[in-house]
């Protein structure tokens, strides 16, 4: 095991905080949709993309980040993703319009892919007798983060406004970023493996397409040309990836 950075007893609390913050920020949306629709002058249906797009990027990010963080790249990957999520929160907080809000929400959704990386850190960094219960705790608290984000964001938005919810997410994510830099250790030394960039792109297109079909089917129509086109492209790209 590589030399630990900081106190070992702080690793698990840091990972728990990382999991809760990343899932809570990534799942922001449902109680904010009416406010987003009103402030950005879009329909309630269009405002739902503020939630859908983060879930799409999160689903795509999970397998890609898992491969990207293999071996020595794990800690820099976590730091880089937290920086992207922080920037996404800031971008969503600034009133630049609905399009930029969606870009910020997509960046925030990438943080949903940090949960398996936190579990991998716990497996390698914690003593064997603490690794299993620590991983179980991470699973429970990360799932709880999905439920925490919505009501907390709703309360903040109700009293302080929409931007305040995203600024709060930026502050919490920055705290998690500092914690990872100071406390989370480097991954154990492993042989370097080449990152298959083309494979990552193909997998991203495949997953995003299938999720888009599932989420937009009721809106576009299950037999609409638009939906069928996305489904066919996803199947073809997935076949190339396989």
At 8-55, the pLDDT tens digits run 778 889 999 998 898 888 877 667 788 888 888 888 778 888 888 888
What is the pLDDT of the chain when averaged over all its residues?
Answer: 84
Q: Is the pTM of this model over 0.95?
A: no
Inter-residue contact 190 to 129 (CB < 8 Å) = no
- pLDDT of 72 reads 73
Q: By mean pLDDT, which of 86-90, 118-122, 150-154 is the weakest?
A: 150-154
Q: How far apart are CA 51 and CA 110, in angstroms?
A: 13
Q: How far apart are CA 154 and CA 149, in angstroms?
A: 8
Residue-wise pLDDT tens digits, 1-11? 444 444 677 88
Phi then psi for residue 52, to 5 deg, are -65, -40
- pLDDT of 5 reads 43
């Amino acid at each position: 095991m590589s030399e630990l950075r900081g106190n070992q007893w702080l690793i698990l609390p840091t990972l728990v905080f990382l999991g809760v913050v990343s899932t809570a920020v990534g799942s922001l949306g449902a109680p904010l949709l009416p406010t987003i629709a009103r402030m950005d002058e879009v329909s309630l249906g269009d405002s739902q993309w503020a939630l859908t797009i983060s879930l799409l990027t999160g689903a795509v990010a999970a397998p890609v980040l898992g491969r990207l963080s293999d071996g020595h790249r794990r800690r820099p990957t976590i730091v880089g993703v937290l920086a992207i999520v922080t920037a996404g929160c800031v971008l969503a907080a600034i009133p630049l319009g609905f399009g930029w809000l969606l870009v910020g929400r997509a960046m925030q959704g990438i943080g949903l892919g940090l949960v398996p990386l936190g579990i991998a850190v716990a497996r390698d960094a914690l003593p064997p007798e603490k690794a299993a219960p620590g991983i179980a705790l991470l699973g429970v608290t990360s799932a709880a983060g999905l439920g925490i984000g919505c009501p907390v964001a709703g309360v903040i938005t109700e009293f302080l406004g929409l931007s305040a919810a995203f600024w709060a997410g930026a502050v919490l994510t920055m705290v998690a970023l500092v914690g990872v830099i100071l406390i989370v250790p480097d991954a154990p030394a492993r042989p370097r493996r080449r990152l298959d960039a083309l494979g990552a792109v193909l997998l991203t297109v495949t997953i995003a397409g299938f999720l888009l079909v599932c989420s937009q089917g009721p809106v576009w129509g299950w037999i609409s040309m638009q939906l069928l086109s996305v489904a066919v492209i996803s199947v073809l790209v997935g076949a190339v990836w396989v």
